[in-house]
Amino acid sequence: MEKIVILTGAGISAESGLGTFRDEGGLWSQHRIEDVATPDGFARNPQLVQEFYNARRQQAATAKPNPAHVALARLQAEWPGEVILVTQNVDALHEKGGAQDVLHMHGTLAGALCAGCGHRWTAPDTMRVGELCPACGAGGGRPDVVWFGEIPYFMDQIYAHLGAADLFAAIGTSGNVYPAAGFVQEAAMAGAHTIELNLDPSEVVSNFAETRFGPASKTVPAWVDELLRR
Ligand code: OAD
């Protein structure tokens, strides 16, 4: 049976009230990437970085999945083949919508990571500067999110899935950040049909065989309905 690999980005959570990064008024127009999303930024000003992710963690905690998240969970449950969900998002809206085994390649707001020993644990609602690691006792606790200059998680697994995909979809992502922006080419090389579902054409739109533009809450449920009717 056909194997489907889906990559999601901030656009799928936009209608749940979580801001995207690069749309007008997005997070990267309010904060400098170098300050809040790099290891150097954390070393320079850990307070600022903890506050940035604390605010995002608090906002994400009350956000509800929208029809796009729910539709992807339904596809996973009802599709006779495998449906692999890879997300660049650090929120838990796929899981809240019912999805299983989501590969969070950029980490999660729910996690804390020890910069010293690499131990991971559940982040408190508010992380403080010098957050103590429960394993080694050092005060190097940071959000378990992947920053610029760091290697995303699950890359071996993801490339193996892309290499075996029959259908690849990218949903709500601008195609600015690699390696995720290059997944479409990997999947296409493996012979997969490729489809972009986004509000506007992404930076890598020309690499897709098929495109559908509109809000994810509309385009994704319609696409899933079509697939499940096939
Ligand atoms: P971006 O903010 O770069 O792009 C969001 C995309 O979603 C844009 O192409 C929008 O057109 C689209 N969009 C907005 N609203 C939508 C809606 N209602 N329905 C469908 N699409 C919509 O976010 P990402 O591509 O996810 O990484 O950004 C990738 C990475 O860059 C993030 O994971 C983050 C960021 O820097 C790190 O922090 C490491």
Per residue in 87-145, pLDDT (tens digit) is 999 999 999 999 999 999 999 999 999 999 999 999 999 999 999 999 999 999 999 99
- Whether the CB-CB separation of 197 and 33 falls below 8 Å is answered with no
Q: Which residues lie with the beta carbon below 6 Å from any ligand 1 atom?
A: 9-11, 14-15, 20-23, 26, 37, 88, 106, 146-148, 172-174, 176-177, 198-200, 202, 215-216
Task: Give residue-wise pLDDT tens across range 144-168.
Answer: 999 999 999 999 999 999 999 999 9
* Amino acid, single-letter form, for residue 164: A
Check whether 62 has a pLDDT greater than 90.
yes
Backbone φ and ψ of 147, nearest 5°: -100, 165
- Helix and strand element counts for the chain (H, E): 10, 9
Task: Compute, in angstroms, the gap from residue 167 CA to the centroid of ligand 1.
Answer: 21
Residue 37, exposed/middle/buried by CB under 10 A (0-12, 13-18, 19+)? buried
In this prediction, residue 118 carries a pLDDT of 96
Check whether 1 has a pLDDT greater than 90.
no
Q: Which domains does the chain show, CATH number per domain?
A: 1-17+65-106+152-230 (3.40.50.1220), 19-62+109-145 (3.30.1600.10)
In this prediction, residue 85 carries a pLDDT of 98
Buried b (16+ CB within 10 A) or exposed e, 112-137: bbbbeeeeeeebeeebeeebebeeee
User: How many residues would you count in the chain?
Assistant: 230
Task: Give residue-wise pLDDT tens across range 190-205.
Answer: 999 999 999 999 999 9
Confidence of residue 36 (pLDDT cuts 50, 70, 90): very high
Backbone φ and ψ of 33, nearest 5°: -55, -45
CA 153, distance to chain mean position in Å, is: 11
The residue whose CA has the least distance to atom 16 of ligand 1 is 11
Backbone φ and ψ of 61, nearest 5°: -60, -35
User: pTM of the prediction?
Assistant: 0.98
Among this protein's residues, is 94 annotated catalytic?
A: no
Mean pLDDT in the chain? 97
- Whether the CB-CB separation of 172 and 12 falls below 8 Å is answered with yes
The residue whose CA has the least distance to atom 25 of ligand 1 is 173
Residue 212, exposed/middle/buried by CB under 10 A (0-12, 13-18, 19+)? middle
In this prediction, residue 43 carries a pLDDT of 95
Beta-carbon contacts of residue 51 (< 8 Å; ≥ 6 apart):
none
Confidence of residue 49 (pLDDT cuts 50, 70, 90): very high
